[in-house]
């Protein structure tokens, strides 16, 4: 019996990053885990731009929302991009490129935590700035940025974020989001 649930439980959206460099082989394993994710028709619709050098890191940092100031300490920032056409597009308008990316990013985060690192995906950034800085064609969707790095001290975090580093996991009761055999969800929430 494996203990994958324990490993999954280790992942939290921590923000206290250390500036210490992450060895290339560790980054390599984390990204291999990302690419091992399943995807619709095995399309592998994810594209990862790895910012590890000063100039590239600064380009991503410039695009962060104010509330994501804590990401500036992370030594690795991943730009996750896709195009709807890269993924399965079903006749009833279901689109799978972004879904594929989500599966890959969760793999990435779990591998990072299993290596003793933090990995935190965010939506708070200006995607146009990211595209302009790197010359990424307009057709791409910059679906998330992921900060990767070793745990650091909390000195640079604001009070709310310091508190969140130690907060218990906050989830809806499972009965609100999981139904067995009968649909019981309302259209309101
Ligand atoms: C798609 C996505 C976008 C997120 N955007 C941000 C963000 O911009 N800033 C931030 O501090 N955290 C962000 N988070 C982290 C979530 O707030 C966090 O995962 C959630 O509160 C649950 O906490 P946990 O991951 O520790 O269980 C994001 C997470 C996801 C999956």
Query: What is the chain's length?
Result: 189
- CA distance to 90, 145, 168, per residue, from 80 (Å): 23, 6, 28
pLDDT attached to residue 49 = 99
Atom 22 of ligand 1 has which residue's CA nearest to it? 13
Task: Please say if the pLDDT value at position 2 is more than 80.
Answer: no
What the block records as the tokens of 95 is 């689109």
The rounded Å distance from CA 124 to ligand 1 centre is 9
- Count helices and strands (H / E) in the chain: 7, 4
Q: How far apart are CA 30 and CA 37, in angstroms?
A: 12
Predicted TM-score (pTM) of this structure: 0.98
Atom 11 of ligand 1 has which residue's CA nearest to it? 68
CATH class of 23-167: alpha beta
Query: Atom of ligand 1 at shortest distance to CA of 164?
Result: 26
Q: How far apart are CA 30 and CA 110, in angstroms?
A: 8
Question: What would the pLDDT profile of 54-103 be if each residue is shown by its tens digit?
Answer: 999 999 999 999 999 999 999 999 999 999 999 999 999 999 999 999 99
169 pocket-lining for ligand 1 (C-beta < 6 Å): yes
């Amino acid at each position: 019996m494996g203990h994958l649930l324990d490993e999954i439980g280790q992942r939290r959206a921590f923000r206290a990053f250390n500036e210490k460099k992450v060895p290339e082989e560790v980054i390599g394993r984390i990204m291999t885990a990302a690419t091992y994710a399943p995807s619709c028709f095995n399309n592998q619709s994810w594209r990862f731009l790895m910012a590890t050098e000063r100039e590239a890191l600064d380009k991503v940092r410039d695009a962060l929302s104010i509330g994501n100031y804590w990401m500036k300490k992370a030594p690795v920032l991943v730009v996750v991009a896709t195009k709807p056409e890269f993924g399965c597009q079903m006749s009833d308008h279901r689109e799978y490129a972004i879904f594929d990316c989500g599966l890959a990013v969760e793999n990435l985060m779990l591998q990072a935590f299993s290596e003793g690192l933090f990995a935190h995906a965010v939506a708070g950034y200006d995607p146009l700035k990211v595209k302009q800085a790197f010359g990424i064609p307009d057709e791409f969707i910059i679906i998330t940025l992921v900060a990767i790095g070793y745990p650091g001290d909390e000195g640079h975090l604001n009070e709310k974020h310091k508190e969140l580093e130690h907060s218990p996991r906050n989830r809806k009761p499972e009965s609100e989001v999981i139904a067995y055999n009968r649909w019981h969800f309302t259209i309101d929430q």
